[in-house]
Amino acid sequence: MSRRLYILLVLGICLGSLVLFSLMHKAEDSLSRHLTRIDPVDQQVLKDYALRAEVFYRQQDQAGMHQLIDEIEAKHQTWAAVLTPELHTALGTRVPEAYQSRLSFQRKLAWPVHGVWKEVLIGIPFQEHAASLVIRLPSAMHPRPNLMFWHVALVWLLPLSVLFIFTHWLYRHLIRPINILKDATKDLAYKEFAQPVRPQLGNRQDELAQLATSFDEMAERIQLLVSSQRQLIGDLSHELRTPLARMKLVQDSDWPETRRREKLDREINLINQLIDDAMTLAWLDNEQRRYLPEHLQEEVQLDRLLDVICDDAEFEFSGRQIVRDYPDDLLLKQSNALALSQSLENIIRNGLIHSPEGGALKVSVCLQPTQSSQAAGSTESDEAGTLLQIQISITDQGRGVPEAQLDKIFHPFFRLDKARARKRGGFGLGLAIARKQVLRLGGHLQAENVPGAGLKVTVTLPCC
């Protein structure tokens, strides 16, 4: 069974959620770092102050240094000083008393500056001298972004948007085949035929596609059964009209009571046979196409079964002979005696009906390797498990069947010679029942014309 839909849900929801939230966390961290950095323009201003201070420090120009410090204080309303590595002031610069204890917490120019910090000391090292310019970051240069807005946007709004889009796509992905199935179900309930669902789903191979395939098989089976039942009812009603009409004529005739009773009994027997065969055919249509394994547990002694059927047929058709050509002790495993006997009896009776008076019907049996065994080069059964199939051939001496109608003789109520069939009590259901029973036994049935003989019907069944 396909697990594509299950895999899609696991990857889409579980793994997708983990990836999404990890990316959101990383994006939030990266964005917060970017928003809390000092603006590059302001960084360049502070770097320029540090370069000028380094020049004055190298030249030990105290007056120039004081002029620079005054300029910074006047322009940015802050203070600045030059510190040695030991955090001592140089060139007469000074650090306010309140900041003396915080000189160890200087931040580099490129480091983030969080908005909650009110006083930030920036240390800018000189390039060629072991000193640095320390400046309290001016308020105008302090980055104060609205991190709460970005936090809500990244942690709540963006994930919800992505999940909404994914859920909407998943809903449409799931609901489309369901809607198609719903429409097909309505068509099957209220219309003559339902459009196949599986082709409408395209290249999908998930569980819903398997459901659509099962639905199509079910719909096809239901439509076939409905069509078959309608055909059966129509044919049955048509076939019943003839014996009923004859019974009406007999009833209104002035024949002797004994003759009328015989004629009515014969027509009643014909109607009973027709109803029994029609019910059997309808039952076979409604049941599974093949017997379940528990229904195929019988071992049938095929030669004895054929002897019984042939003896009964010879007694009924006394003017015809049955030539038997099959070995003794022919055991057929995993079969069903009732279904097999019913199939063979119908075929043999049909052959005798179409054989001329004084003619002969040949019943022969042979073993054949299956196609798979033939492909492997096996020609006989052995302990290695070569698969064999059994072929039962019934050949009559009738006129045969036109090639275009060889398959039609297995259709219900089909008869080449309706007058002759009715004379013998046939309604064209025997071969139809035989084919369905053989198919349920796991075999197949075919017919062919034999030059110089008549019609040959071959039943092929798995042997073991």
Tell me the C-alpha to C-alpha distance, in Å, between residue 271 and each of 122, 239, 431. Answer: 112, 9, 18
260's enclosing H/E stretch is helix 257-286
pLDDT of residue 295: 60
CB 291 within 8 A of CB 440: yes
The overall longest dimension of the chain from CA atoms, in Å, is 156
pLDDT in tens, 143-169: 877 767 777 887 788 888 888 898 888
Residue 433 and residue 411: Cα distance in Å, rounded? 9
Question: Mind giving me the DSSP string for 214-248?
Answer: HHHHHHHHHHHHHHHHHHHHHHHHHHHHHHHHHHH
Rounded to an integer, the average pLDDT of 91-104 is 88
Rounded to an integer, the average pLDDT of 73-79 is 92
pLDDT of residue 380: 42
Residue with tokens 């054989």: 355
pLDDT of residue 82: 92
Give the pairing type, strands 132-136 and 80-83. Answer: antiparallel
- SS3 for 37? coil
Q: How confident is the model at residue 179 (pLDDT cuts 50, 70, 90)?
A: very high
Residue among 144, 115, 117, 156 at smallest CA distance from 28:
156
Domains of the chain: 40-141 (3.30.450.170), 290-374+386-462 (3.30.565.10)
pLDDT of residue 437: 84
Tell me the C-alpha to C-alpha distance, in Å, between residue 428 and each of 43, 354, 420. Answer: 103, 13, 11
Q: Which string of b and e fits 226-258 if b means at least 16 CB within 10 Å?
A: eeeeeebeebbeebbebbeebbeebeeeeeeee
Q: What share of the chain is helix, strand, coil (3-state, %, to 5)?
A: 60, 15, 30
Tokens of 453: 């003989």
- Of 266-270, 369-373, 399-403, 440-444, the range with the lowest mean pLDDT is 369-373
pLDDT of residue 378: 40
List helix spans (H) across 77-205.
147-152, 158-190
Rounded to an integer, the average pLDDT of 55-76 is 91
pLDDT of residue 377: 46
Rounded to an integer, the average pLDDT of 405-416 is 79
**Better pLDDT: 152 or 177:** 177
pLDDT over threshold 70, residue 216: yes
Q: What percent of the chain has pLDDT over 90?
A: 20
Residue-level length of the chain: 464
- Of 40-44, 118-122, 387-391, 422-426, the range with the lowest mean pLDDT is 422-426
Q: How confident is the model at residue 9 (pLDDT cuts 50, 70, 90)?
A: confident
Q: How confident is the model at residue 379 (pLDDT cuts 50, 70, 90)?
A: very low
Q: What percent of the chain has pLDDT over 70?
A: 87
Residue 366 and residue 376: Cα distance in Å, rounded? 20
pLDDT in tens, 245-264: 878 888 788 888 888 888 88
Tokens of 307: 């002897």
CB 142 within 8 A of CB 120: yes
pLDDT in tens, 185-194: 888 888 767 7
Q: Which string of b and e fits 370-383 if b means at least 16 CB within 10 Å?
A: beebeeeebeeeee
CB 421 within 8 A of CB 415: yes
Rounded to an integer, the average pLDDT of 383-402 is 80
Residues 180, 183, 188, 192, CA torsion sign: negative
pLDDT, mean over the chain: 82
- Of 91-95, 365-369, 413-417, the range with the lowest mean pLDDT is 413-417
Residue 330 and residue 385: Cα distance in Å, rounded? 18
pLDDT of residue 284: 67
pLDDT over threshold 70, residue 423: no
Q: How confident is the model at residue 287 (pLDDT cuts 50, 70, 90)?
A: low
Rounded to an integer, the average pLDDT of 118-146 is 87
Terminal Cα-to-Cα distance of the chain (whole angstroms): 30
Rounded to an integer, the average pLDDT of 61-68 is 92
pLDDT of residue 381: 45
pLDDT over threshold 70, residue 418: no
Residue 336 and residue 441: Cα distance in Å, rounded? 7
pLDDT of residue 464: 56
CB 337 within 8 A of CB 298: yes
Q: How confident is the model at residue 286 (pLDDT cuts 50, 70, 90)?
A: low
**Better pLDDT: 234 or 42:** 42
Tokens of 119: 């006083």
Q: How confident is the model at residue 123 (pLDDT cuts 50, 70, 90)?
A: very high
pLDDT of residue 376: 45
pLDDT of residue 21: 82
Rounded to an integer, the average pLDDT of 4-25 is 83
- Of 132-136, 358-362, 407-411, 445-449, the range with the lowest mean pLDDT is 407-411
Give the pairing type, strands 360-369 and 321-325. Answer: parallel
